[in-house]
Amino acid sequence: MRKLIISLAAAAAALALCPGRGSAGTVGNVADVKGTQEQQLFGVGVVVGLRGTGDKGRETAKRTALLLNNGFKFNVQKEDLATKNVALVFVTARIRPFAKQQSKLDVTVSSMSDASSLDGGELLPTPLHAADPEVVYVRAQGKVSVKAADGSVSSPTCGVVSGGGILEREIPGPALEKSYLNDKGKRVDYLELILRRGNFSQASSIADAANAYLRAPQDAPAARAVDAGLVRVEIPEKYRNLTVAFVDELLSLPVVADPPATVTINERTGVVVSTGTVRISRVTISVNGIVLEIKENGTLDAVQGQVRRLQYSSAEIIAIVKELHRAGALQAELITE
């Protein structure tokens, strides 16, 4: 049995090679204005014109009959319909607030039954909505393609209708319409920034950057870190009718951006990629006859560096990382591909 000990000296050496506390970025790199995030729209539709690759299930015949009877005023029974050229699909689209009516967007179409391929089919007009099924925001229609830009096909039962969604109703955007009355009865407009990854230090840095830019006094800051994921910023009086310009300037402010600590494992290629400073707690684990002992808090760089010098295989390195995560010693998000 092989025993590998990672000492404090090795961990310190790895830390010396790591960058300092994050790298320079902008507020817009790490946060979004609350209320401007993408909205997910969805609906259920029918794809026709398939070359014998459609559904065999009864639900597709039922749905098609309803569509023909209600939408096109036909009078057909589901028992009279063959569905080998038809597929029942789930249709989704993403859109941000402030998009204007008649804007076009791509929609994704995914088989809901047993169709073997959607390639070349035509999506019939399909209403897309958000939480309220009675409110239609987008109507989608068009030719379905399952091919990527390079001609490859990752899944024949999931495709895209490029530009097939037409925005019929604008998404509400209340992000820039928030206000409150202060203790003097004066209206104060504000906006809120949502951090993409909650971090108290990052939230504090954003608030400090905004206050410095606005030259706000320390006893009356214009920006406050509410918690690890939210920063509230008051809009100056001079920007009351120039809110968009203010948002642009705010998101362009420089701020120290701490890269998220993540570890991504590709088991097919044996590659392990880490971002940020991935720290390892003190731990002793045994993997495939290897005893790994980390005597002091260190980093993943230190562990990988020592393991590589001893010529361990990619499979052994991946097994070690997984066990570190399972033991709760890997202080990062683990992603397996």
Give tens-digit pLDDT for 200-213: 888 999 999 999 99
The answer on pLDDT for 14 being more than 50 is no
Query: pTM, whole model, 2 decimals?
Result: 0.58
Q: Residue 288: which pLDDT band, with cuts at 50, 70 and 90?
A: low
141 compared with 277, residue with greater pLDDT: 141
Asked if 202 and 149 sit in the same domain, the reply is no
279 compared with 168, residue with greater pLDDT: 168
Asked if 102 and 161 sit in the same domain, the reply is yes
The answer on pLDDT for 6 being more than 60 is no
Angle between helices 243-251 and 200-214 (to 10 degrees): 130
Asked if 294 and 205 sit in the same domain, the reply is no
- What distances in angstroms separate CA 124 from CA 70, 208, 271, one per listed residue? 14, 52, 43
Asked if 194 and 252 sit in the same domain, the reply is yes
DSSP state of 97: T
Q: Are 55 and 145 in contact (CB under 8 A)?
A: no
A 10 A CB-CB count for 61 gives 21
Mean per-residue pLDDT, 284-290: 70
CATH number at residue 204: 3.30.1360
Least confident of 66-75, 135-144, 210-219, 319-328: 66-75
> What is the pLDDT, as a whole number, of residue 44?
93
Asked if 138 and 150 sit in the same domain, the reply is yes
> What is the pLDDT, as a whole number, of residue 323?
81
Asked if 45 and 163 sit in the same domain, the reply is yes
Structural domain boundaries, residue 197: 24-35+175-256
Domain count of the chain? 3
Mean per-residue pLDDT, 109-117: 93
Asked if 17 and 121 sit in the same domain, the reply is no
64 compared with 8, residue with greater pLDDT: 64
Least confident of 88-97, 112-121, 231-240, 273-282: 273-282
Domain closes at, from 167, 194, 209: 167
Rounded to the nearest 10°, the torsion over CA 233, 234, 239, 241 is 100
Q: Residue 13: which pLDDT band, with cuts at 50, 70 and 90?
A: very low
Asked if 189 and 150 sit in the same domain, the reply is no
Asked if 150 and 55 sit in the same domain, the reply is yes
The answer on pLDDT for 9 being more than 60 is no
The answer on pLDDT for 147 being more than 50 is yes
Asked if 95 and 201 sit in the same domain, the reply is no
> What is the pLDDT, as a whole number, of residue 308?
67
Nearest alpha-carbon partner for 277 in 197, 331, 239:
331
**Mapping DSSP to helix (H, G, I), strand (E, B) and coil, where does residue 220 land?**
coil
Asked if 285 and 224 sit in the same domain, the reply is no
Asked if 197 and 248 sit in the same domain, the reply is yes
Domain closes at, from 167, 201, 230: 167
Domain closes at, from 113, 133, 167: 167
The answer on pLDDT for 16 being more than 80 is no
The answer on pLDDT for 3 being more than 60 is no
